[in-house]
Structure 1
Amino acid sequence: MLGSLGLGRTAGFVTGSVSQRVVGRAPCPVVLVRAGTSAADEHLPATDGVAPEEIPGIPYRDVVLGLDVGHPCDDLLAFAFDAAHRRRTGLRVVHVFRTPPADPAAPAVPAAERLAAVERAVVAALRPWCEKYPEVRVTETVVEGRPGAELVRATAGAGLVVVGRRIAGSRLGAHTGPVTHAVLHHVRGAVAVVPHA
């Protein structure tokens, strides 16, 4: 777990050289916690006058998982489901897709059909994990747009955001990817970055 400086009330993390190296090279999940946050921020709002020792009894905020069904990864799914299970809270799974450029030689696929196919892929990727963790309440959101921006938007009110970092196939060495980069710089709460093949 790493701490990170924040820029104002709306900014995410300022990842300095140490944080960037750890996130980009660690062989295990890394959780970044923004400066100025406390354990209470991972819980739902409490009434005034709650003592610090009473905070663990207040329900946790949801865990949000950014899922790429083009590269589903057991390590990433296991981390997110386990985090929601341990916190006894819900898991909101978000998949953002972009429509590829039209191929004039191929028949046009209606937008509703494309969306339905992506939704089926998300459900199929989650099915074994939902069976393994039946007590975790899972909601899926599939939206078309820019993945980084849409995932950041979907994390409002989350107690923990879980994203992946691919460790295979990069010729650039340590690399977080554009979606993880956007989440690290724009999400206000804790972010877990899980390396995967």
Structure 2
Amino acid sequence: MQDGTIAVGVDGSLESLAAADWAAQEALLRGTPLRLVQAWEWKVRAGALAPSNDTQRDWATRLLHEAEERLKSLDPDLAITTELASGTPVAALLAASADAALLVLGSRGLGGVVGFLLGSTGLETLAEAKRPVVLVRPGEQGQSDPERSPTSGWEVVLGLDLDRPCDDVIAFAFEAADRRQAPLRVVYAWEVPPVHRYTAGRPGRVTGPRQEDEESQALTEALRPWRSKFPDIEVEEAAVSGRPGHLLVEAGTRAGLVVIGRRAQRPGHGTHLGPVAHAVIHHARCPVAVVPHK
């Protein structure tokens, strides 16, 4: 059963330390516990000498203790639990996220998502997780700025697909903005085909000179009930033509969090995330929340 815990994968890397910092501040914002997760099964290169199980376990235990002590020194009121999982990082992270509200992972950005000490397993975890996943890179905007913490002071950006709107994705973005008392910028982008024609998607959708007005109106209608539910949030709507991934990355240059959706993959369909998600998680300059939906 899902609880309010924020789970974060730690492996001693700079990426995981940045993720732990962000997760700790998110836990404080939500008033929920933080769970530090470490998997201690190592992969060993061919011909290399494998460390003993005791050595691996001792190293992982020490790493968890050091991470816990570091976060406690930053805020002694933070409730922290630790979990030492035997097995692969992907299995450990998915298990930890199954009953958590949110999973946080360290990210290298360009080149892939870091996955503990075992390489780029984060992408597999991201594609299979049933809960929202936030990707955090070290040195992202706001993290070292004393005037603006990683969880406040920057706007939240929501990338919305009006052909497949999802309440879970929209709710995550509005709630994140509400927690931070931050403005919310909602970006809906579409690529204009080379000729004006009727297109698949919403009934009656036409490309042409009037499309921008029609799409703007559709975006306003989609957000109307959410504006009523969160009346104190300043919401900016942007319905623009162009490549969605590029426009969301650009919007993220002045954001503290970008929120995007991910269609849940059916078993056996691999780790494909789609071009928009791929562009945002690898190029955005701020933490990225990926919210799965059907």
Structure 1 gap ranges (5+) = 7-11, 47-54
C-alpha separation in 1, matches of 2:165 and 2:208: 23
Query: TM-score scaled by structure 1?
Result: 0.80
Q: Name the CA shift for 1:122/1:103 in 2 (closer, same or farther; >3 Å).
A: closer
Paired residues in the alignment total 179
Contact 1:93 1:139 in 2 (8 A): yes
Q: Which has the larger radius of gyration?
A: 2
Q: Quote the offset at 1:153 in angstroms.
A: 1.2
Q: In the TM superposition, what are the counterparts of 1:3-42 in structure 2 within 5 Å?
A: 3-6=106-109, 12=110, 14-16=112-114, 17-37=120-140, 40-41=142-143
Which residue pairs with 1:88 in the alignment? 181
- With CA pairs under 8 Å and 6+ residues apart, which has the higher RCO, 1 or 2? 1
Q: Which SS does the other structure have where 1:195 is aligned?
A: strand
Matching residue within 191, 214, 218 for 1:98 = 191
Q: Contact 1:13/1:187 (CA < 8 Å) preserved in 2? A: no
SS at match of 2:254: coil
Residues 122 and 27 of structure 1, relative CA distance in 2, 3 Å threshold? same
Counterpart Cα distance in 2 of 1:97 and 1:110:
10
2:229 maps to which residue?
Answer: 132
Name the TM-score, length of structure 2 as normaliser.
0.55
1:147 to partner: Cα distance = 1.3
Does 164-173 or 86-95 show the bigger shift? 164-173
Could you list the runs of 4 or more consecutive aligned residues of structure 1 that deviate by over 4 angstroms after TM superposition?
Answer: 103-106, 168-171
**Offset of residue 171 of structure 1:** 7.2
For 2:287, the aligned partner's letter is A
Q: How does 1:99-118 map to 2 (within 5 A)?
A: 99-102=192-195, 111-118=208-215
Q: Which amino acid aligns with 1:34?
A: R
